[in-house]
Homo-oligomer: A and B are copies of this chain.
């Protein structure tokens, strides 16, 4: 379904509207006050998030809940200017989190007005990752619209001057270190091995063959190749789920353990060629688990369901998230966070410059104690937990940590391989929902 919404909620010159898509399931909804679980869509097609948020489907019957999945503007089919939405800076101007929160608020109020019985239904915002940030922010900014929020793996503190920029990659590294002997050590050594081998044209050719790259590497591609590998390890850390799954890519259970099987050799006993051979086998776990991939494409790491350009624009404007590496506490090549370089890149790409301090101003930064009814869940394996809320802030802004969970594992369908920590997290979340359902009670300490 879709609803016509203002393209600009915060100005009156642009009075156009666009159609926001949303999906509804009320199979289990108790029309006499059953809650509405409202997924605050993130940077992609909403059907994809709908299919990857099994938790909501699993708990709908117990809660007598209506499920709503709302698509974020500028993603999927919710394009304010149709095919022109991404054509230039002018058309991109309404792609902001504040506009998206206003969309969600107007949509919820409209549903409550139009759907018989919904007026008495408390609405609980749910989201994962950026969608989790949005669900927390929706409760913070529009507490009249949602009685509470579950913000899963939501790095609301991954902004300048809130958390150390190196924590993210430290967690990635820890995931590899714990998943196999020498695994992080061999990855840390691989960067130099790449430099060594690609110093010659023969080496370049060998590496392209070893990795079955779709286009052979050139000298000028090296930074890109390394960035692609680095992002591969990051993505593996995000989706290190305890069972076979297909979120960003089809993967085996505990994929990092599978990756690390190829990288368990004693680092002092192998040549650069042997090391990179292992790295190439490891990368194939991510890119070719199905065996259907004839060659590896270094220009793509994740699923096509995510709106890459849109998210890049958001990072270039509001969502400024400093990340850095030092090569010591993490397994990557040292790289400082360079705001100026990032800003210049944004300016040349989109004609905009990021506002580093804005997110802290508008969304409260570390100072969120005066809000209420927000559950932050984080997985200990998830690199994004570096910017997450992992301790209770008050009796009403609470944290759930799932030590062996990756990126919003709790939002996925129940699975026989689920560790007990995620099962108890889900039970706790449902208990909180039931408290919220009875008006605005605070959570028990």
Residues of A in contact with B (beta carbons under 8 Å apart) = 6, 9-13, 15, 89-90, 92-94, 96, 98-99, 102, 105-106, 109, 141-145, 317, 352-353, 355, 357-358, 361-362, 364-365, 367-373, 440
A417 to chain B, nearest CB (A): 39
Ordered nearest first, which 5 A-B pairs have the shortest CB separation?
A: A144-B364, A143-B370, A144-B367, A12-B352, A13-B93
Bound Cα distance A367, B142 (Å): 10
Residues of B within 8 A of A357 (CB): 109
Residues of B within 8 A of A10 (CB): 10-11, 96, 98-99
Residues of B within 8 A of A372 (CB): 370
Residues of B within 8 A of A142 (CB): 361-362, 364
Residues of B within 8 A of A98 (CB): 10
Residues of B within 8 A of A358 (CB): 9
Bound Cα distance A355, B96 (Å): 20
Residues of B within 8 A of A94 (CB): 11
Residues of B within 8 A of A105 (CB): 361-362
Residue in B96, B102, B361 whose beta carbon sits within 8 Å of that of A11 in the complex: B96
Residue in B96, B141, B352, B367 whose beta carbon sits within 8 Å of that of A141 in the complex: B141
Bound Cα distance A98, B141 (Å): 12
Residues of B within 8 A of A109 (CB): 357, 361
Bound Cα distance A371, B370 (Å): 8
Residues of B within 8 A of A365 (CB): 144
A379 to chain B, nearest CB (A): 27
Bound Cα distance A371, B11 (Å): 26
A143 touches B361 (CB 8 A): no
A64 to chain B, nearest CB (A): 23
A300 to chain B, nearest CB (A): 27
Residues of B within 8 A of A440 (CB): 369-370
| Other A-B pairs, 15, CB within 8 Å; known A11-B94, A144-B361, A145-B361 | A9-B358, A10-B98, A12-B89, A12-B93, A12-B96, A12-B353, A13-B89, A13-B90, A13-B352, A102-B361, A109-B357, A141-B141, A143-B370, A370-B372, A370-B440
